Amino acid sequence: MSIYRTTISVEWGDCDPAGIVYYPRYFAWFDQCTLGLFSEAGFALQDMLAEREGFGGLPLVEAKANFMMASRCGDTLDAETELTEIRGSRFTVRHRLSREGRLAVEGYEIRAWTTVDPADRRRLKGAPMPPEVVAALRG
């Protein structure tokens, strides 16, 4: 599978009163990295929503993180994100954020590829990820 890499600059607003990253920020960064993975593969979310008939998005089903080392304002995190499993409409994305070569946070998301339900356009339903998207994400 292809790996999306980026750097994250920890800013003052990312931190709690103790001066360390407030844990929900990691989940926001996971989300950004997942979207970056798809975008780098040629399937930017905003384009898919606008151009793919019936595409409903990539909603989050489950998320987990293990925190090994605190990060603080001014730190730079190296992020690696990869798709590790596709099972039906669901897929797993793994995230690893490191600081100075040491793993700080590792997590994953389970998401679903969805389409708009033609019977009720307010609802989404799971669907298999299209083969061209799978091929692009596999590199």
- Decide the pairing of beta strands 90-99 and 124-126: unpaired
Residue 60 Cα to chain centre, angstroms: 9
Q: Average pLDDT, stretch 77-93?
A: 96
Can you give the pLDDT at residue 128?
96
Can you give the pLDDT at residue 1?
72
Residue 89: pLDDT above 90? yes
CB 73 within 8 A of CB 15: yes
Q: In the structure, what pLDDT confidence band is assigned to residue 105 with cuts at 50, 70 and 90?
A: very high
Can you give the pLDDT at residue 86?
94
Can you give the pLDDT at residue 70?
96
- For 109-135, write each residue's pLDDT tens digit: 999 999 999 999 899 999 999 999 999
Q: Which helix (H) or strand (E) holds 51?
A: helix 45-51
Domains of the chain from N-terminus onward: 3-138 (3.10.129.10)
- Among residues 74, 49, 71, 72, the alpha carbon closest in space to that of 59 is found at 49
- For 23-68, write each residue's pLDDT tens digit: 999 999 999 999 999 999 999 999 999 999 999 999 999 999 999 9
Can you give the pLDDT at residue 123?
94
Q: In the structure, what pLDDT confidence band is assigned to residue 139 with cuts at 50, 70 and 90?
A: confident
The β-bridge partners of 5 are 80
Can you give the pLDDT at residue 32?
98
